[in-house]
Amino acid sequence: MLNSDHPELPPHSEPESTFSDRGGAQDSAGLGICPQSRVSEAGEAGKKELQHLSREERRRRRRATAKYRTAHATRERIRVEAFNLAFAELRKLLPTLPPDKKLSKIEILRLAICYISYLNHVLDV
């Protein structure tokens, strides 16, 4: 089953060329020498691989990347800082003895509920 034109070639192999069937430049050993072609081939293969996955699986894989995790951690840090600032502002509005007493978040919320109820009662009287 050898090709009569190229008897040294193993069965089912193609003659060497300067371009692969995927369009990337090749060296004499048939290895890609163009890094862009390898990147695009990997990207195309990745896209084809992701097409058959469910929406949740694609989302899970995207969230597993280091870039996504870093961005998510940054967003979460900003959210927590804003949350803590809101509690600090609410804490400043509540009367306590001593005034600088450290309160937990749940204590701040419970005290705010009581204080609002008290203010409503004062307005109703």
In a domain, 87, yes or no: yes
User: Domain residues for 109?
Assistant: 45-124
The Cα 80–Cα 85 span in angstroms is: 9
The proportion of the chain whose per-residue pLDDT surpasses 90, expressed as a percent, equals: 42
Q: Return the CATH number at 110.
A: 4.10.280.10
- The string of pLDDT tens digits covering residues 20-34 is 444 444 444 444 455
In a domain, 1, yes or no: no
CB count, 10 Å around CB of 105? 12
In a domain, 36, yes or no: no
Total domains in the chain come to 1
Q: Does the pLDDT of residue 11 top 60, yes or no?
A: no
Split at pLDDT 50, 70, 90, the class of 43 is: low
Model pLDDT, residue 23: 46
